[in-house]
Structures are given as structure tokens and as C-alpha cells.
Structure 1
Amino acid sequence: MQLNIYLLNHPFIQVLSNYITEKEKHNNFIYYLKSQQLGSFLIYEVLRKCMHLKDVYIKKINYIQEIKVNYPLQSYSIISDLTTSHHIITNAAKLLPYTTFECINNINDKVSYKNNEKIIFFEKFLCNYKAIKSIDYLVKNKKININQMKVACIICNNKVLSQIGEKYPRLEIYTTKITNF
């Protein structure tokens, strides 16, 4: 198994991850806020190497202002089980203007992907094989390059990681914890 696993050890990410995995109270407002913060941090970590910014110069009367904007042709697709993780990934649409959300259970021929689109599989707990089946489908049927895909999760199972590593050794996985359950 030669898998690219990034274990996110930043203190903010670890504190939020511990809170979310220990509390599991879905009707608590603080739980939702911390989930959204953790989702923003995870999406940031996944995309910070591949996100392209473009310099825009605005001429003012006395000076030139430089700002950086997201490259306009870059689009993202986040595939997740939206019934369990919608509250975690909702801020991604605010950060990335060209983002679509797809339910992992509904990946089929009706969904079209662009050639340069970055695909992120997000799972709260990567402990089943839905993500592997979805990756298989996209690689075989949609002919999407594995380098366009990344996996992000809060907790992942080492058995699922080993199976992903056997099939897709170049896939990048971002997580806060790896467990043996």
C-alpha cells in the first residue's frame, strides 16, 4: 500500500475533530458551528495545493490595488452522503464559487463532470466501501483521472485505507484520525 495519507494535526483541526466525534448531538447549535468550521478547514487542506489564484490589478487614482481571486475556470465537485454531512460541507460553497454537491448514492450517468474539475469525496466516517465503489464508477465509466480526485474524512478505518491503497495507490486522503474499528 503506497497511499498518500495526510493526517491533519493542526491544533484547531484536532480540537474540532474531537468535539464532533465525541458529542454527536445533531440538534446542538454549537455542534453545527464547530462542524462547519471543521469542514472549512478540511476543504482548505485538501485544496490548498491545487487551487490556482489569479492576480487582478485595479487601478485607483493614486495607486494600483492587487487582489487575488480564484481562477475562474476551476470548478469543484464534492461527493458525499449529504444526509449525514451536509452541515459540515456547507461552507465550501461560500469559499469556492463553482462548487457542485452530489450525493454519493446518486452517482450515475445523468451527472456530468468536466475534464478539469477537481472531485472531492467527503465522508464523515470513512468506514464503508461506498467511496471505493464511487471512485471505481468514475474511473471506469466516466474516464476521470485519479489525479483529479481526493478523499477527505474526519475518521477513517485502516481496512478501508488498505483496500483503497491496493486499487488506487496515487489517491490522496486527508483525515484527522485513523482507527482500527
Structure 2
Amino acid sequence: MKLNIYKISHPILQTLIDNLNKREQSYKHIGFLFIYEIFRKYIEIEKIYIKQVRNIKLIHVINKNKKYFILTNISHTYDMINDIITILPEVHIINVNYQSTNKIEESLKNLRIDVDISKILIIEKITNKDQTIDLIKYLEKKKNLHSKNINIGCIISNEETLNKIGNNYPALKVYTTKIIYKNK
């Protein structure tokens, strides 16, 4: 497996992950911090200098020429992504129905992605099924994306699923906070 796995180990995130079973509210905070940490690498900020009478004012704005997409099943991740619009108003959140390949296709049929200006992030709480692989297959075949342009963010990753993804899409990047290993 040559998969690029990035374990996000921000201290606040790790504290929330350790207490995940004790509080339902945690996914809201975990998701917010988790997505922030992932997008921190991809968001392009431009500096605008405004000349005023006596000084120059500096403003930082997000590059409007870039597009940011989060693909997720909103019914499962709503608590994680609900507040992300407050820090990333430019992000487009797309609901994906994972029930079947046909449902995935139906969910994304109107999605227009320009590889040169788009950043794709698939968000899940736990990766433990082949539904993510089906989504990646669809994005590659129907939307002409290469797996190196797709990123996966999942709070908890299943080792077996990561192995399957790595065998099929070694250029993919996966961001996680915890990997669950199968009992041997």
C-alpha cells in the first residue's frame, strides 16, 4: 500500500477524539477543527493592498479563482460540516447518496469540476465500507479526475478499507485522526 496517509494530531483534536464516546457533541467540534486542518494546506490567500491617504491597508482574501468542494453524505456528517461555512464561505458542500453506484451518479450528475482550479475533499466520520471506493471510481471515470486530485478526510479509518483504497488509488491522500486495526 503506497497510500499517503496524514494523521492529524492537533492536541485539541486528539483530546476530543479520546472523549468521543462520552459526548455526542464532540463530532461538531471535531469536524470543524478537522476540516480546518485539512483545508489549511489548500486554501490560497491573496493579499490586497489598499492605498489610503496616510497609509496602506492590507486585506487577506481567499482566491476566488479556486473552487473547493466537500463531497459527503450530509445526513451522516451534518454535525461535522454545519459550521464550516463560517470559516470557508466559498466551499461547495455536495450531498452524495452512497446507496449504490447509480445513486452516486445521480447525486453528482450536475457537478462541474475543473481539475486545474478545484480541490475535492470527501468527508466521512468513519471509513469502513467500499462506498468511498465507489465514489472515487465514479469521479475518475465520469468526471475525469485523477486520484491525486481527490482527498479523503475521515475521523476514524478502518485499516482494511485503507488497504483497499491504497491498492486501487495509491496517489490519493487520506487525512485521519485514528486508524482502527483489525484484530488478528
| Fold agreement, TM-score > 0.5 | yes
Does structure 1 residue 60 correspond to structure 2 residue 56? no
Alignment RMSD, CA only?
1.6
SS of aligned partner of 2:112: coil
% identity of equivalent residues:
32
TM-score of the superposed pair, with normalisation by structure 2: 0.86
Work out whether residues 140 and 146 of structure 2, in 8 Å CA contact, stay in contact via their aligned partners in 1.
Answer: yes
Runs of 4+ in 1 over 6 A off after TM superposition: none
Residue in 2 aligned with 1:74?
66
Number of residue pairs aligned between Structure 1 and Structure 2: 173
Provide structure 1 residue ranges, at least 5 long, that are not aligned to the other structure.
26-30
SS of aligned partner of 1:153: strand
Residue in 2 aligned with 1:86?
78
TM-score of the superposed pair, with normalisation by structure 1: 0.88
What CA distance in whole angstroms lies between the structure 1 residues aligned with 2:168 and 2:11? 32
Question: 1:1-181 to 2 correspondence within 5 Å?
Answer: 1-20=1-20, 22-23=21-22, 25=24, 31=25, 34-105=26-97, 106-108=103-105, 110-115=109-114, 116-181=117-182
Once the two structures are overlaid, the 10-residue window that deviates more, 121-130 or 73-82, is 73-82
Provide structure 2 residue ranges, at least 5 long, that are not aligned to the other structure.
98-102
What CA distance in whole angstroms lies between the structure 2 residues aligned with 1:107 and 1:118? 19
What CA distance in whole angstroms lies between the structure 1 residues aligned with 2:148 and 2:84? 20
Q: Which amino acid aligns with 1:107?
A: I
Q: Which amino acid aligns with 1:95?
A: I
Once the two structures are overlaid, the 10-residue window that deviates more, 157-166 or 42-51, is 42-51
